[in-house]
Chain A
């Protein structure tokens, strides 16, 4: 019974978050196009892309590790679906220590991209895989520091208690410390997504789509789906963690769109950073601001 319920909730979260993610991906493309004074694709474009890619031939390179090559996108999607299931259940009941589950599970998509790159047997793909790992090393530290701030404020490591704290004491982003921590974790999350200031591992003009260079057909479609689900799961996590969650559906959707638009604006107004610049930025400014936020939180601001 317990296992069946778990599997059903994971499947449900997969459906919900992939639909929301595909629409968020379209929103990203459309807003990007409008910012560049273009018209942009219609709303069903990402669904069409997905269907088309499933119908294409799947090529596996001769010197690739076939099993890991095909499993990598599945690992990413499954871990993100589990994250989504924990996020939804965390809104209704206390799941012990579930913040740490999120920190672990949100790392796995990056590891899936690393596995994809290193199992492809391609020089550009292995360069992309190495860059992905370096990217992970840089953003993970400030991300965890920023996530400490609501823990300090509410004294709990469960999503349910953090949301309840925000309902009684005011949302986290309303405090100085929460505001700083929100921006630090937003930038770190953009590193997870591989969006433009941090898209070294997928630099298409430089290393030809990086870690995903050898993917075609269904696995590529799954990787695109993984990126979309990561977008929706990550933004929902931000909204729940810093902005008080989806208690009121209408304001919840407005918060979600607000964070999404903020990410798109940062993405469209910045050039790509080099790997060493990313490392210096995250271990420098982001970490400093993270610690400042933690100190403010300890002082009660």
Chain B
């Protein structure tokens, strides 16, 4: 019962941390668009936090460059569990147009386990909200 209550509470208040690993900044701007009056994800209790230790969800954008690979791993380990990873944008999901680049160190799921993929270049805020609802369906 107690565990059930905590899971229910987790579903209603996801704190989100946003990490850019060599993205072109387009996905990052679209993430911030989710907070604006038109979409307002604070209605569902989602807040953008400044520290990974406060977060439940790690949003990763960008290809995960050679320099950043270690940092993604560190941040993933520092996230208090239960925590989830969402890969946002074509680069984070597959490598996108940078898949043959010399800084490419695999898409994000080669470095850390990813729960939800949100493709698009950049994905619309509507697509991100749809992806988060899929994440919510995964949390049990």
A49 x B45 contact (CB < 8 A): yes
The docked-state distance in angstroms from the alpha carbon of A39 to that of B45 is: 11
* Residue B99 is within 8 A (CB to CB) of chain A in the complex: no
* Residue A134 is within 8 A (CB to CB) of chain B in the complex: no
Interface size on B, residues (CB 8 A): 24
Contact size range, A: 20 to 34
* Residue A220 is within 8 A (CB to CB) of chain B in the complex: yes
What residues on A are CB-neighbors of B9 within 8 Å?
Answer: 48-49, 51-52, 55
From the candidates B40, B45, B49, B54, name the one contacting A38 in the complex (CB within 8 A): B40
* Residue A277 is within 8 A (CB to CB) of chain B in the complex: no
B51 x A213 contact (CB < 8 A): yes
What residues on A are CB-neighbors of B54 within 8 Å?
Answer: 209, 212, 215-216, 220
What residues on A are CB-neighbors of B10 within 8 Å?
Answer: 52, 55
What residues on B are CB-neighbors of A58 within 8 Å?
Answer: 80
A51 x B5 contact (CB < 8 A): yes
Total A-B residue contacts, Cβ distance less than 8 Å? 81
From the candidates B37, B50, B81, name the one contacting A208 in the complex (CB within 8 A): B50
What residues on A are CB-neighbors of B82 within 8 Å?
Answer: 56-57
* Residue B42 is within 8 A (CB to CB) of chain A in the complex: yes
B50 x A209 contact (CB < 8 A): yes
Most chain B Cβ neighbours within 10 Å, of A29, A52, A54: A52
B56 to chain A, nearest CB (A): 8
Within 8 A of A (CB), among B36-87: 36-37, 40, 42-43, 45, 49-51, 53-54, 56, 78, 80-82
* Residue A205 is within 8 A (CB to CB) of chain B in the complex: yes
The docked-state distance in angstroms from the alpha carbon of A40 to that of B37 is: 9
A35 to chain B, nearest CB (A): 11
Given contacts A57-B81, A204-B51, 11 further A-B contacts (CB under 8 A): A39-B40, A45-B12, A45-B13, A48-B45, A51-B6, A57-B82, A59-B53, A59-B78, A212-B51, A213-B50, A216-B80
